[in-house]
Chain A
């Protein structure tokens, strides 16, 4: 799949620079023509604040978090959206092939073929895809990395509006180098680029001066991608099915044959009697 990605783009999020203005959440709503109503409650909700959650209508949020930093309570603001894994688990579990990667590495979701099974929601290590529970024929929804903007050489909506450059857009390898440069030159940062190695690497990268776990990021993720991780046993799926099918076909043919033989024997006996 990833072979299609020829121009991998990324966003580097410098969490120390975020001031919690929520511009990115508004840009996302504007560009994707989404309402500010919570689809379940129909209440008006901003997509940034102390208690915000992604939903089918809200593809990015900025959570205002009070965290402890060197014994002091401080504000940190955490943007959440699809991480756009280099090897996305959602895509690998989707039997309808509703997910595919664009040339720029956006993990794009196509609701027109989605059957609504929600495997992707279970597979995603970041809990990103959200279900349209409120609809009769629901789809799954998530950030598309503004795939059409990326195709046109533009930054995604959220990154284009950030007033403090907390969101930096560019090529993944260049941003990774930049992230390490920032970390190496400033002792306040943790020596960890979140997304560099997590689940095989993600398009979205984060640097921070506060522990990622405290900020709500999953910290127990393997470095191997999830598709690769499960490939060890899922690759036997087809052989197992093939062998199974062959075995049952054999059993079936055998049973049929036995039945036919028994039937013929019966007929023969009847003929004998008649004769």
Chain B
């Protein structure tokens, strides 16, 4: 029998399953079936990683044809919800599904967008650090048309993100995430940052190039991660003691190395170091202008911070008269009181944080700490400059990066502060080779770090804090986790809800918090590309809470642990079936530093499976069914789907009153994108993008660095002293106490002008002892987790191919343990053990590796699935079931850390 020759073609697409994307790719199609994912070398000259594609993208073929996909709309027939309840899903038509969903929405709308507690009746949870928007087509336009939506039910946000870095990073240097300037760096000190697992193709390429040219990276973390493996040195530090290590580095720089070898001009002119501190800890100010004062060595008098040609003192103590501005506009007048510069206060602040002190805490040698600090200064090239696109900038090729659990939860503030401070000490913040921000999410505009730099108070950048002053503070937040009430730094941008204390949203559903509005469940909860029943903490409690939600709509791929509790399942086209245009380039998360920006198309490589529908079609139908078509189309026209359809030189706006097809919407978007990139000169639409896949224009490399934007406006980085935080902390405390809220007092203590060391291990242990009535000595191990490049963010635990290739890397099948610790317990490789925290227990096989501290256990990734097909049969443990959500373990930014104490019991021999 002669086989018919196969017809082959290719389409352009992208993978944005994780925040380190998007990876631009091509999909090969044989006889109408998508068969292969390939790198896109057409974009090699534009893409920072040469058009290469991450391993996760190769799972997309199986993802498309997964036999376990939900392929028709389904409705629940069992009104009871819970893990022990069979939902009894039965297929229904799209008409019936949309009618059910729109019926609930319309009822909610009739009753008012917000409920009696002031919370939006509609809630939505999306996963993956904002990446679902690259797959949900025009759904953001529907949400925009709808109005208030609560996005506070997290699926990992806050507890598993770079939370402190997000908030403090944006405050200090417009750094939603922070990255070394890897292509120029000489020395990178990485505290648990696992860039080789989470940096995506760009991160991995940049660091591989750096290693090739001899960069030195020192990895400080309790286990030898993939990134540790790729580093020149591994320092196995005790979990959650990183602040001590960093404080001691600062101590070495200030007390051993000395100011003469630091970047004094940078400290004087680009930071708050010279600002004089008044007796109550706030800046001494010029009574006339209200500006902070500094001591001018030229004139030997206090002058406002922006006095031209002043030579401010960094050290010493000076008799100064002036005003001090406290919380809620309280003013203290001072006459000839002793004031020291913030820098001098810093020197004093860290004087006891010696390497010997840190060594005891961190379980490392004092000489290691000392050596790391010295290397940091040695490699800083202080005084050198480099030319970037015609502008001369300082060249400081040293940087510190922070990983998860280091930069979130208690201790996150200390670490973020110390890291950014050390960059300042050598003048390496936001300059070539140094420590850079990547993108902004709280400040505006979100697509331009430079223009987000606006003058704020006291010579610093403006930051849109949630108000804390009397009369301005919001006692009722628009979200169920109270981000506007509790977290000034979370701001209130569209991203802020995701950056609030998302576990509080779940916790408050279980127990009302004193003097807060009743924690009502949302009338309608949308869920897309997330599975908080597995990916959040205390997964049992989270599942129980979502089981109580009255009406849950899940855009379902396969059955999973979250949509098991749903009322309606809507099958949308997956990655390779949907059509969408997204923005690419510029500087974005992790290590996405492009020299171009523009747009890329996700062109369907396979027809929709079963009754699945393009997400934009679903969004349009929801808009129609709720009578919001006009607002929805208008939102699209305004750019809610990624690109404004009208500009100075073009207008491809959709008729608001008419239903538009998916292709019409994206054709208009493509035309607007072409016009935007060419200032209206070209207006090619969908066909152009289908042929070429992407379209870009140059993005100035100079904009990778924020320092020019500050310099041009004469602004300073708000370091080392956090006078503003000190003030708002006190204001917040007053507001909360006025409201009768005392349960946030522990968090208020974090509002320090310069953070002090706190024993974080003890903090955890005490919280667990108090919370669960256990003896912490019975739980001898610290349990931590690590990213898996093959899995992280991918929602792909149900894909066989991913499991197969990930299994080549140690730890994907069990619990990593040090052999000496195992020997003490009589455990051997492969033994089945139970791992129990005070909250719960799980089990898995022992994987013995020398690259982990004996007091620490590691569970890679997030598994513990019990419903997701294929994944549920893997029997791989996850720490999520063991990690409690506790107020005591919530920091002032509202985040927690992946850390818990556990004990181990042998259940049986190797399988």
**A, B bound:** no
Q: Spell out B's residues near A (CB within 8 Å).
A: none
